[in-house]
Amino acid sequence: MASLDTGAYKDLYHDYASDDQARIEERKLVGGLEGDALYVDATFPASGSSLYYNEHQPPKYGIPAELVEWNRIGGREIEGCVEPVFVSEAPGGGGVKQGALRDRWFLSALGMVGSKPELLSQILVSSALWKKGIYTVKFFKAGKWRYVHVDDKIPCDRGGRPHFARSCDANEAWVMVVEKAFAKLHSCYEAICAGGLEEGLKDCTGA
């Protein structure tokens, strides 16, 4: 997995001074949208380049990029996500279901973090503007908290089923959002297939 020490993906994350600054910048990103317009993340587009290193040669588990539909959480375009919430308060909320992506190491860490509200709230910086299609998440990489803004377009199959991870509660969005933000931090979804539990926990907790 690429290191952020080189700043190779600097255009995909931000080194904000605080969560408050990240929220201010989030508001700026959607401030110019008119009417019902939704945020579109041009730095991590709904295309094959965000899925795989080479969009024309997906890995064995990957479906061809042209068969992937990028469905919006807020648009209720994802199977089962008819009343989307960022984090559910219902029993069973926080459970993580792995999809086709071989990132169990990260999802295992995410499941542990999700079971502790105080840890989960630390990385979930903002969902305040979810109706405009934007979320902000942070991860601890190369000695610093790195902030990532993403839109709410999730890679799905033709039936609207998420191709990668999702929550055990189909209405709960945080798992899809955090996995997408982590993929963006590393340039694409395929880039997060290799790692270890200890690394994942550090990325999500800073410890």
pLDDT classification of 40: cutoffs 50, 70, 90: very high
- The whole-number pLDDT of residue 93 equals 55
In whole angstroms, what is the distance from residue 22 CA to residue 25 CA? Answer: 5
- The whole-number pLDDT of residue 95 equals 87
Assess whether pLDDT exceeds 70 at residue 36: yes
- The arithmetic mean of pLDDT across residues 123-139, rounded, is 97
pTM above 0.75, yes or no: yes
The whole-chain average pLDDT of the chain stands at 92
Instruction: Yes or no: say if 165 and 176 are a contact pair by the CB < 8 Å rule.
Output: yes
Assess whether pLDDT exceeds 60 at residue 62: yes
Instruction: List the structure tokens of 182.
Output: 């982590």
In whole angstroms, what is the distance from residue 72 CA to residue 81 CA? Answer: 10
Assess whether pLDDT exceeds 50 at residue 76: yes
Assess whether pLDDT exceeds 90 at residue 17: yes
Instruction: List the structure tokens of 11.
Output: 């255009």
pLDDT above 70 covers a percentage of the chain that reads 94
pLDDT classification of 189: cutoffs 50, 70, 90: very high
- The whole-number pLDDT of residue 10 equals 75
Domain ranges of the chain: 10-205
In whole angstroms, what is the distance from residue 86 CA to residue 66 CA? Answer: 28
pLDDT classification of 186: cutoffs 50, 70, 90: very high
Burial label for 72, CB within 10 Å (0-12, 13-18, 19+), is middle
In whole angstroms, what is the distance from residue 202 CA to residue 92 CA? Answer: 24
pLDDT classification of 61: cutoffs 50, 70, 90: confident
Given strand 134-141, what is the order of strands in its sheet?
A: 124-126, 134-141, 144-151
